[in-house]
Structure 1
Amino acid sequence: MKSIRCALGSVTVAISLQSHACSVFLQDNMQLPLNTADVGNSDRLSLTRHYLTARDWTTEGASVEVDAAAFETERNPEELAALRGKNVMAFLVQLGLDKEKIHVYERVIELSRGKVDPDNKWQIGVKFVPNCPSSGCQNLCNSPKLQGVASYAVTADTPGPAPGSNRFTCGDDREPTKVRILDTEVWTARTEEKSLTLIGNDGSGNRKPLADTCYRVTTSVQEYIGVTDDQGRTERMQLLGPERTKIEMQVDADRYPVRDDD
């Protein structure tokens, strides 16, 4: 999704966050069937989860920027983009968001030699941003495990969470003494209950299941901490979609050293 322009009501938010060298937002990007304007159930669930998170960022709540688009090859693209924006706004209002805090932009996506640009393939983008009080939003940047903190730049006002505040442990004597945290993200297209098999590259470049390994899997609403079995499998858990799921694994720093391609 191309970057979404800021409406007047959101400019103060962006300036406040950037002045404290921190970026906080939640983003939903959606691909719809051609020539349709309705948002699917899985995307509605994702919007709902992100709204419930964003409204609690500050006492002032959140604002939303909606990028409503249509491909130039779709039927009546200008009207279709407007209808998509209208439908998303109606759903957000239904969730409880003030209409005055929803800023909708409409556009037509031009194709390049008849093909869709992979970086511009989303017909709807929804971005939740915090409404900052006069004191600013730097407290969000210093809150451990806060959903939506996209980046940190350490300053006097935003040093980040206190050291060690985001650690996790399984309370298992198999945890290594010298720990390195491997982390990654996986895309979950739709909500499903499943276990994951965790794989690591050791110091020799071999890929193997991470057996008896302490892990933390974080979705937008829940955190799962446990130890993998002898095949590197986690417990069964509910992975939410569409969204990215964060996975962290404690490994022995000597067996899994930092590599140049990490």
Structure 2
Amino acid sequence: MKIGIYILGLVLTAASLQATACTILLQDKIELPHGATDISNGDRLALTRHYLTAREWTGEGTRATVEATAFEYESNPKQLAALRGEKITAFLKQLGLDKDDIDVDERVIELNKGKIDPDDKWQIGVEFVPKCPATGCQKLCNTPNLPGVVSYAVTADTPGLVPGSNIFTCGDKREPANARIITREVWTATTKEQALTLATNGGKPRAGVCYQIATSAHKYIGMTDNQGRTELLQLLGPEYTTIEVKVDQYSY
């Protein structure tokens, strides 16, 4: 299942966009206990958040692709994968998706020399993509800060964002004139409220730097304190949170 956890991104085809225009996707990957078929409440919340966001992309709503799997060592893996697919499909239908808008792929995961591939350890994957109108989804490609849109191809119909429109700022005189953005992700298993301490690779706190922290539902922009701490944030889980820090390009 070579697709990242809660990562945004899917290259929409020419058929749906009338041009290879941009990358749009909300994704969830779920790891289940041995033999289990029911997902946790946390996973249900994550799926619900992503569905509610994805259905607002266009007036036509969203489609979902489900990958339901089982490891070869699990009991009756083919039947187990099918049952997992049925269970997640039923939940997506409860959220509001039509059966015709849910595609399910089932497979059995084979071990690699008796070990689980770290990139293929999740038994359920769900991808939400936009349903495009007859005119295509070009407008999504040119909408700043739209959740799920992470890349822009320059074409006649999709020129991309106005230069600099996607660069965040704290409006603070301490912001470097010659800046570059450092990006990383942090995994949150459950939803919680806390401040983060931002540091360099060497462990030195990034004091007084401008940051942007994005969950699937909200973006926080601010300056760290003298110990590198952010404001109090509501981190959503289970999912990855994206952290961007603006630093002087000549200092790091």
Q: Is the 8 A contact 1:13 1:131 kept in 2?
A: no
The aligned residue for residue 163 of structure 1 is 163
Is 1:253–2:249 an aligned residue pair? Answer: yes
Deviation per CA, 1:165-187: give whole Å up to 9, x if none.
22322232322233322222222
Q: Is the 8 A contact 2:13 2:20 kept in 1?
A: no
The aligned residue for residue 117 of structure 2 is 117
Q: 2:214 aligns with which of 214, 218, 239?
A: 218
Deviation per CA, 1:101-143: give whole Å up to 9, x if none.
1111211112223222222211101011111111111211111
Q: Cα RMSD over matched residues?
A: 2.0
List structure 1 runs of 4+ shifted beyond 4 angstroms.
Answer: none
Residue 219 of structure 1 aligns with an amino acid whose one-letter code is: T
The aligned residue for residue 8 of structure 2 is none
The aligned residue for residue 198 of structure 2 is 198
Is 1:237–2:237 an aligned residue pair? Answer: no
3-state SS of 2:180 partner: strand
3-state SS of 1:230 partner: coil
TM-score (norm 1): 0.86
CA distance in 2, matches of 1:45, 1:220: 12
User: Cα distance 1:73–1:141, how it changes in 2: closer, same or farther (>3 A)?
Assistant: same
Residue 40 of structure 2 aligns with an amino acid whose one-letter code is: G
Deviation per CA, 1:170-220: give whole Å up to 9, x if none.
23232223332222222222212221111236xxxx652110112111111
CA distance in 1, matches of 2:249, 2:230: 21
The aligned residue for residue 47 of structure 1 is 47
Residue 224 of structure 1 aligns with an amino acid whose one-letter code is: Y
CA distance in 2, matches of 1:240, 1:61: 23
CA distance in 2, matches of 1:61, 1:208: 45
Identity of aligned residues (%): 62
The aligned residue for residue 137 of structure 1 is 137
TM-score (norm 2): 0.89
Q: Is the 8 A contact 1:227 1:234 kept in 2?
A: yes
CA distance in 2, matches of 1:60, 1:184: 33
Q: Is the 8 A contact 1:20 1:138 kept in 2?
A: no
Residue 247 of structure 2 aligns with an amino acid whose one-letter code is: V
CA distance in 1, matches of 2:133, 2:158: 16
3-state SS of 1:52 partner: helix
Q: Is the 8 A contact 1:64 1:103 kept in 2?
A: yes
Residue 118 of structure 2 aligns with an amino acid whose one-letter code is: P
3-state SS of 2:53 partner: helix
Is 1:106–2:106 an aligned residue pair? Answer: yes
